[in-house]
């Protein structure tokens, strides 16, 4: 049980590290402007409309959703959304995202962890448990 809780916390905080730079406009790794990178991916790779709005949604999902999963609040709401996001990243970048260059294994493993959390919920040491119900 403790290892699962630690996995949930580590996963949530890892996701936050991707959302917060988008919202604050700060660099993230080799990306000088991660929000622009997300907007470009959504618009030019996925070909979806409303790219700036979707990029903002992704940034909020990663920040608010990641924090929520970490503390175990509305875990069954946010974890599946994050699993879908990771699947979309794998779909969008898979053919051009070789294992040796940053690696597609990162969104794959995060997607499977999100799926695991989706199925198990927050469990112990969580806001959902304190509230007596899972959202």
Structure tokens that stand for 86 in this block? 């990771």
- Evaluate whether 54 touches 84 at the Cβ level (below 8 Å): no
Could you tell me what percent of the chain has a pLDDT over 70?
94
Choice between 33 and 99, residue whose per-residue pLDDT is larger: 33
What's the pTM? Answer: 0.91
- In 3D, which of 44, 105, 39, 114 has the Cα closest to residue 82? 114
Give the integer Cα–Cα distance in Å for 35 and 26: 9
CA distances from 107 to 92, 113, 118, 132 (A): 11, 10, 16, 32
pLDDT in tens, 97-116: 666 666 788 899 999 999 99
pLDDT in tens, 117-127: 999 999 989 99
pLDDT in tens, 62-94: 999 999 999 999 999 999 999 999 998 888 877
Any residues with CB less than 8 A from the CB of 7 and at least 6 apart, and which? 113, 116, 117
For residue 38, what pLDDT is reported?
93
């Amino acid at each position: 049980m403790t290892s699962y809780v630690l996995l949930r916390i580590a996963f949530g905080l890892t996701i936050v590290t991707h959302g917060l730079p988008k919202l604050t406009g700060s660099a993230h790794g080799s990306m000088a402007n991660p929000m622009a990178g997300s907007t470009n991916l959504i618009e030019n790779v996925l070909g979806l409309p409303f790219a700036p709005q979707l990029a903002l949604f992704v940034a909020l999902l990663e920040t608010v959703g990641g924090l929520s999963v970490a503390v175990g609040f509305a875990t069954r709401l946010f974890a599946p959304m994050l699993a879908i996001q990771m699947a979309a990243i794998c779909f969008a970048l898979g053919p051009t995202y070789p294992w040796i260059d940053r690696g597609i294994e990162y969104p794959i493993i995060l997607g499977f962890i999100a799926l695991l959390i989706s199925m198990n919920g927050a469990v112990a040491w969580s806001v959902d448990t304190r509230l007596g119900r899972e959202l």
